[in-house]
Amino acid sequence: MVDQMRRCSRSVCANIAEAWRKRRYKAHFVSKRSDAEGEAEETRVWLEFAHRCAYLEQDDFDQLDGAYDKILGQLVRMLAEPDKWSIS
């Protein structure tokens, strides 16, 4: 479980970085942002499992879940307006 959480949480950052470098190509930018969104949600699922299995305290879960909620919100906003973030 820990290994999977590490992988998907690192993938969020990697996909965001790749999208940013490819922002002159709108379709690639959107695709990588979408991948980052999926990886962020997967991280939240693993956090939920860890919490329900009592591997993660409530306070820690709330803090991490809240952080990922903000990350997902930002990604969704960027996906809603890709032209605002892309290079023409």
Three-state secondary structure along the chain? CHHHHHHHHHHHHHHHHHHHHCCCCHHHHHHHHHHHHHHHHHHHHHHHHHHHCCCCCHHHHHHHHHHHHHHHHHHHHHHHCHHHHCCC
Let me know: does 43 contact 5? Beta carbons within 8 Å.
yes
Pair 41, 10: CB distance under 8 Å: no
pTM above 0.85, yes or no: yes
**Domain ranges across the chain:** 2-83
Q: Has residue 82 got a pLDDT over 80? A: yes
Q: Write down the CATH number for the domain with range 2-83.
A: 1.20.1440.60
pLDDT of residue 88: 73
Instruction: Give per-residue pLDDT as tens, 4-20.
Output: 999 999 999 999 999 99
The mean of the pLDDT values for the chain is 94
> What is the model's pLDDT at position 87?
84
